[in-house]
Each structure stands twice: as structure tokens, then as C-alpha cells.
Amino acid sequence: MALNYKETKLVKDTIPALRQHGEHIATVFYKTMLRDHPELHNYFNTVNMHTGKQPRALTSLILAFASNIVNISELTPKLERVAQKHASLNIQPEQYDIVGKYLLRAFSAVLGPAMTPDVKMAWTKAYSVMAKMLTGREAHIYREFENWKGWRKFMIYQKKNETLEGNIVSFTLKPIDGQPLPTFMPGQYITLRITVPGMKYAQLRQYSLSDAPSYDHYRITVKRDQGSNWDYAGGQNDTLTVSSAVSSASDSSVGSVQPGRPGVVSNSLIDEFHEGDTIELTHPSGSFYLNPTMDNSMPLVLISAGVCVAPLLSMLNTVVEKRINRPISWIQASRHDAPFQAHIENMTKRHPNMKTKFFKSRLSDSDVLSYTSSFDNDFLSLTSEDLYLNNGSSDYYICGPEKFMMQASSHLHKYGVKPERVQFEIFSVGSFEMRMD
């Protein structure tokens, strides 16, 4: 049901009002929808709802859709991230009907007389177009999941500190049913669901898989959040119904958990979950990944910061295990001791086509813009050989806090690296679209 010229114009004419009132619209939408459908709380990151990140994410998506309604193909990467996230949360088509109802109601409540019957009809059709695009793609993703439907129980087989501080911990997870696990693309994430004492609803978070695919286990790596201003996730942002940040610092006593406090899940995992305990996961998903089946001998440059090393480590381990003949440059920043550094260094000794650089940077732990950092100088110290700048077909994968990725991408752009050669893990709810300019 495509929009005609008049309807398209009516939607585009609402862009100024959406820019001015979009976050208010999204806030009203979530408030009324969750009041009438409290069961949907089980799909949300409570922290992002309290901080306003989730309404900002929805506003960003609505504005992007309205701005590109005559050129929907420009939205493909953003909608793919949304579809992957929704599939990881087992979102169903009927939930889109609920969202549409309350979203249009919020439009009317905030825009008032500007939401004329014609404008409402135009936005009804526009939302239907977007919903059909997403549900169609999600249906395809669900078919790829084959027999894995919804949540699956896993046992924590191994729990291991990855830093001397003990603030980054890996969990090796094995399926309770003992059935072989499907493979995944290195760089993808799973959604984890746990019950946290003192919280009314289930808590869902996305974590990147931090090892090469295996038939009998997955591994995730979790960072304790002690109140920083950014949350890590191995997933994407701008979803209609759910958030993507992984929080990690929580009070462990029953009844003391503050719903809007960062770290509800990650700290609970680190402090309260032990080997032998059970958690629930959904099928691996995500649009940020390295395809190891492609015949590619071009250089691979992996740039990470802090715990955001997780998806890139999955890529590295996969390339090495599959004996893919690619020159590799590993560049990793951390505030203190780097997670997996010994593993990386041992791997480098065994593989002459691999080189490594480790930096110290506060940007690996925070996105606070006022923080000073030596990362610019560190990056400038990298040689053309470190970054394989002499090869126009080199591939670059970057994962870290937004400012870290902005700085890295800016340098690569100045060095003449083409934007299509650079992939980012966009993990922060409501974050900007990464550009190399």
C-alpha cells in the first residue's frame, strides 16, 4: 500500500513538528502503551526508558523514515538493524499493531490540530509501509533460525575473569537440551533474559558473542558498569520497541534495585550468577559481522576499545581457526589491562601475518566528551603498514564508545579510506549514524 504524492507530502510536512516535538511524542507513546499493555515492559531496557534514550531512539527512527519516505532504500541499513534486534527479541507482527495504534494516538495528542484527518491517514499508511518492511524481513530471519524458536535455556559452564581487576568477565554457555548449536556470523550478538531480584519484569540485554562459532557452546563477555555514561551492547539501536544497551552495575540485595540505575543486568551476572546456573538466550542475530565464507585475502584491520573487543575477537578467532589467509592488524585500546591481551599476543606469535598494537585510553571506558585522551596521538603513531593503507581493498571493523569510533573513522577518512570499507558496531540507543566525514 504505497503512499501517493499528496500523502507523501503530508508526511514530509510533519518533519519540522517531529523535530520539535518528537521526543515528547515518543514519551507519550511509551507511557500510554505501557500503561495499557504492561506485559510489554518485558521487552525494554528499564535504564533507557528512565534516561530517555529509548524515546530518543524512536524519534530518530521516525524522523529518518519521514525524511526518506520517497527513497526508502536509504533506510535499508537502519531497518536491517531494527529487524535483527526485533528478531532477537522474538517480536511478533501483532505487536506492530499495538505500536501503530498508540504511536498515532500520541501524534494526535501532541500535534493537536496539526494532526488533521488527512495527515493521520497519511501517517497510518506510512507506518503500515514501515511495519510491513520490518515484519517481512523478520519473518525471513525467523525462517533462518529453523527449529530454534524463542527462548532457549543455557547453563553457565565456565565463568572467567578477563582482567586483573575482575571488571570484565566471560561466560561460556552450553545448551541445557544438549542439541548442537547453530553457527553464527562472527560479530553477532545474542539476547539474554534473566530475573533480577527487586525488579518486577524480566530483564533483557544484548551481548556480543566473543568467540568463534562452536557446535556445543557460546561465549559472551560482560563488563561491570560502575556508573559510566555509556552502556555496551553487541547489537544495534533505534528499535521500535526495545533498547540495545547492556547495563552492568546493580545492587544485589532484594528490593534495593533502582529501575533507572545503570548496571542492573551486568552486575547481577558478574556478582550473582555462577557456574552451573541457568539463563535464557535467543538465537544469534545482528548486522555487524564478518562473513568468513567469502573468498577474501585482503587485509583485515580490527580496531576496538575496552569490552567492545568482544565481537572483533569473535572475528579474529574465526579467521585464525578457519585458516583464512588474510593479513591482520589488531589495534586495541583499554584504560587499564586489556582483556584477552595474552591470548592475542600468543596468537600473534603463531601467525606471522598478524600484527598488534595496544594503547591506553580513557575513551575505552567512557564517552564523556570532556575526557582528555591520548588516543588521537596513539592513532597518529600508527604507520601505513599498521593500517594497510597501501591496499585500497583493506577491510576495517571498529567497535567502541561513540567518541572512540568517531576519532578512528575521522583518521581513516583523512588517510583516504573509502567509507564502504569501514564497518561500525552501533550499539548505543539513540546514537548518531556513524559517518566518515
What cell numbers appear for 244 in the block?
Answer: 540495545
Contacts of 145 (CB under 8 A, 6+ apart): 87, 182, 283
Are the C-beta atoms of 151 and 42 separated by less than 8 Å? no
Q: Which residues are catalytic?
A: 96, 138
278 residue type, one letter: T
DSSP states of 394-407: -EEEEES-HHHHHH
**Where is 377: in which H helix or E strand?**
helix 375-380
Q: Are 388 and 301 in contact (CB under 8 A)?
A: yes
C-alpha cell of 25? Answer: 511524542
Q: Please list, in sequence order, all residues whose beta carbon lies within 8 angstroms of the beta carbon of residue 39, skipping any fewer than 6 positions away.
A: none
Measured in Å, how far apart are the chain's first and last C-alpha atoms? 36
- Quickly list DSSP for 207-238: EEB-S---SS-EEEEEE--SS-S--B-SS---
